[in-house]
Structure formats: C-alpha cells, structure tokens
Amino acid sequence: MKRRKFLKRLSQASATPFVVGGLPVTLLANNHQLARMVNENNDNVLVILQMHGGNDGLNMVIPINQYSNYYNLRPNIAIPDSGNRKYIELDNTLPDEEKVGLHPDMLGVKDLYDRGRVGIVHGVSYENANGSHFRGRDVFFMGGGYEDYFKSGWMGRYLDQEYPAYPDGDPNTPILPYDGQNEMQDPPGLEIGRDVSLLFRRDDTFPMSLSVRSPVAFHDLIESIDQQNVGNFPDSNYGEELKYIMDMDEQSHVYGQRLKEVYDRGGETSVTYPESYPFASQRALRNPLSGQFKLISRLLRGGIKTRFFLVRIGGFDTHANQVESYDPTFGHHAALMYHISSAVNAFQADLRASGTEDKVMTVTMSEFGRRAVSNGSYGTDHGDAWPLMAFGKWVNPGIFGGNPDLGNIRRGSLSMQVDYRQVLTSVMQNWMGSSPEEVADIFKLDTPEKRAAFLDNQVPIVDTNFVTSTSEEFFNDRFRLNNCYPNPARDETRFNFYINNGGRVKLRLYNSEGKMIKVIVDEYMNYGEHEIKFNVRGLPAGTYIYRLEAGKFTSSRKLNIVS
C-alpha cells in the first residue's frame, strides 16, 4: 500500500474533553497544526472497548467439555448447563474440546457470531501480570510488558507516525483548508469520557481538559469569543478552561466547528439501542455503552475522519455480589454482559444501516481476568488471563486458541496463552495499515526476540481479504438449506438442512405465485443436521418454492414436481 511520509517533528499534543450529544468526549489533538492523513488508501476505524475492573472471562466464555471442573471451581457463581437460563452454546460445528458457551445474557454476541462478525481469543494477558488495576491498565495502554514504563501509549506512538504536527517544518504554519484528501481536520482520536488515558499519550506531552454539554454549545462558546481580543472569555469555569486551551492552541475552534458539522450531518439513527438491563434486580441499570456507540456511529455517518475511538464500561471489579445468591445467571456481572452484548449488536446494526460497517472494527480490553476459583462472597478475585473479543465485518470469525485447562489452574488463575500484543500487532498492521517496521516502532519491539514473539507470531484476528469477506462462508458452514432430493420429485422428496442453534424451525412450501401450500415443519428443533421426508403425491405438477426459517436464518430453494 502506498503511504506518504511526513516529518517526525511533533508538538506537544493536547487532549480536550468536552461533551458531544450529551456525552463527555476527549479530543486527541495537536496544539498548532491539524494532522494530515498519512495513509490515503486506508481510512479504517478502530474502536477500543475498555472493560474497567478486570472481567470474569470464565463466566463469559465457558468451556463446555470441562463443565464439571468449571462448576467445581465456582459452585456458587457457575452458569448452569440446563434450564431456561443455561449458557448459550456458541458454535456446535466446533470439535467437542473447543466448544464454548456464552453467558445467557449475551444473545447479541451470539447473533453477531452467527453472522461471522465475532472473533474470540482465549487466554489473553502478558507475562508476570501482577493483578494491579492501575499497572495492568497501564501495561495494556502503553503497549509494553511488565518490565516497561513507557511515558506514551501505543495509539499515541501510532499518531506520532501518522499525524505530524508541523507538516511544513514550521510550528506557526496556519491551518490549511480541508480539501477532503490531504488535510486532517478531525481529531485523530476521540475518547469518550472526561479523562485522558495513557493509551493516547504521546512522548513529551501533557493533557488539557474542557467540558461542555453538546457540540452546539461548544461551537457557540468558541464563536462567542472576540478573536480580536482573546482575553474576552466568558466568566465561568468553561471560560477559564477555554482560555487555557486557546492560549495553547489558537486553532481549537476548528474542532468545535467540525464536530458540530459532522454531528448535525449524521442525524438521528433508526436503530434502537438498549437502554437498560431488562431482568431481575438489576433492571434499573442503564446501558452505559449505548450512548457512546450511538455517538460514534452518528459522527461516522456525518463524515468524521477520526481513526481511533475509546469507549468505557466499568464495574468489573466483582469481588463480591457478582451474581445473585438465589440465581447465578442474574446479578451485576450479568447486567454488564448484557450491556456489552446488546450495545455492540446495536452498534453493528447501525453501521450496517448507514453503510459504514466496512470501515469499523471493535476490540475489547481489560486490565486482567479474574480467578477461576470463586470466593465466599459470590464473587471472584483478581486473576490473570481473559478472553478478548473483536467485532466487525472484517474480523476473522471464530475461536482462537484452545479452551483453558481447568484441571491445571495456577494459583487459582487461568494461564496466559496469548500476549495481547500478538493481537494488537495484527490489528495495527492488517487493519490500520501500518508496515511491519512501523508496528515494531509502535510497540517498541526493539530486539529480534520481541519482533519474533509479537510481530512474527500474530493472532490472525483480521480477515485480510478485503474483497470477499469470509463471514458469508462462515455463516453457510453453520446454517444451510440444501437442495432437496430427488428433485424433480414424483412421489416423495427429502429436505435437508443444518442449524447451529436450537429453536423454532418453520419449513413451508409455496406455489409459483407465492401462495403458501403446506406447512411442512413448525416446531422446536435442536441444533444439527435434519432431514425431513415429504410426500408430494396429490400436488399438481409444477415449480414450487420451499422456505426455511430458523431464528434469523432464512433460505429458499426450488422444488419441481412431475406427474
């Protein structure tokens, strides 16, 4: 891919939090010069979904073939393997030793998986993880190992390469008009929240903060300033903060104007996002991700060129009351699983509806997992490895790595199988378009050993065939309606189909005019392959259509009947 190279001389970056559409947003910006796009042929977007607190991955992704060990390790919080609230069997085409179950409140992830939009990586962590929230978060954000103490984050170092602050070598160069190709008028990164994380930090920079309630208010506040008298700021906290920003970067108003423009242009979505957890005692808990994803989708519809987004959901530090004592399928963790699953599913639907699904990938991050052994407070303590999830049309769908060995638990925790950098190097190279040399710089892989471990040994989470997605093939391997046999039929024929979910199945026969002639099947059927005999005697010769409906899967084929 042809890439443009710019000067590496960079200014101190400023990160400016404010509120867009009612949500606080942090802009990752340059003080003196808006960034230029480096990769003309790749405007792909990466969304990082940060799960604050350390997610209990073992109640999220359950190894079915080790269920007895799983239950024995955590009998007071284990998700059941039977009943109305049993785990969701994710993929019955996998070998028995690889089959997993999802938490029962993750139907949205199951739906996306069946569409070929989900990749799950087992056992993600880093060597010598110490179980500290702050240190674990810093390690993942800085893109290093346990022994590293970088002052910048891996996204910040990517932006050092891709977005020069002084494209003409002069820090006083005025901002050029945005022509839709060469100048980057949008902030390279948007962080939903009021804090600036290490993830976006560049070397030798410091954060600045400004909070307003909407893009319109932000724009109006900036426009109200007398540009001939920059000391004339509103007498308010906003005014004081804005004066500080304007002193550091006189071009800050461009971001307000631009965000208002793309936000207004994006308009409202027709997709319904989940508002709250609908079950049990956690019913009142609102979904904290819906508004964040809805905002990102609206900005993308409006034409924003931002490459990175960070969204957050907290509450995963579940030492106690992770589940309800009367039912382990309900409780605080269940609500978190529902929030993630349902919000991501709505986000993907929104992207599909607006025609932007091709350009967005979402990856989950958590500072650590939790122990396989539960405690006496219906919770779990700090652990090590956890399952990472990636979502998007160009994700390589499926399961990566083997199920954790629950018969070999080290200090109560799941063992690491994959270093998180083996996933992120693949994302940065194969999705964001960085060269191997640039990826090595981003993650500071400065020795042959580190390059071999993290760059040459990537997890292939990205489908690199950007012409034909593997998702269609993936879907057809798990849901299919085959040709009936014999066809043409005189006396009887056999319908054959495979479904990857148990559920209600309808198989109907229609004549050539679209009128329903016969309901062949209308009942609950288990997952797997099914064959249905059907007597065609008595039906007039001609062409018919048989149609299968199984959940979201529908398919039709022709049947010819002869006399």
User: Do 433 and 514 belong together in one domain?
Assistant: no
User: Do 192 and 233 belong together in one domain?
Assistant: yes
Does some domain include residue 302? yes
Given 454, 472, 490, the domain boundary residue is 472
User: Do 420 and 549 belong together in one domain?
Assistant: no
Look at the chain and report how many structural domains it folds into. 2
Contact (CB, 8 A) for 79 and 104: yes
Does some domain include residue 122? yes
Given 434, 452, 472, the domain boundary residue is 472
**Which candidate, 497, 523, 477, places its Cα nearest to that of 92?**
477
Q: DSSP characters for 133-197?
A: HHHHHHHHHHT--TT---SS-HHHHHHHHH--S-TTS-TTPPPPPP-SSSB--S-SEEEESSS--
Which residues constitute the domain of residue 557?
479-561
Contact (CB, 8 A) for 88 and 80: no
Does some domain include residue 2? no
User: Do 484 and 468 belong together in one domain?
Assistant: no
d(CA 471, CA 413): 33
Residues of the chain with pLDDT under 50: 1-15, 29-41, 165-182, 206-213, 226-229, 244, 247-251
CA neighbours closer than 13 Å in the CB half-sphere of residue 164: 16
Q: To the nearest 10°, the Cα dihedral for 94, 95, 96, 99?
A: -30
Given 472, 496, 529, the domain boundary residue is 472
User: Do 248 and 114 belong together in one domain?
Assistant: yes
Contact (CB, 8 A) for 210 and 238: yes
Does some domain include residue 283? yes
User: Do 426 and 537 belong together in one domain?
Assistant: no
Does some domain include residue 4? no
Both structure tokens of 297: 């989708």
The interaxial angle of helices 215-223 and 237-248, nearest 10 deg, is: 70
Instruction: Report the Cα–Cα distance between both ends of the chain, in Å, rounded.
Output: 60
Does some domain include residue 5? no
Strands 386-391 and 360-366: antiparallel
User: Do 409 and 263 belong together in one domain?
Assistant: yes
Does some domain include residue 256? yes
What's the confidence (pLDDT) of residue 8?
A: 33
Is pTM beyond 0.95? Reply is: no
What's the confidence (pLDDT) of residue 243?
A: 56
User: Do 184 and 283 belong together in one domain?
Assistant: yes
User: Do 405 and 286 belong together in one domain?
Assistant: yes
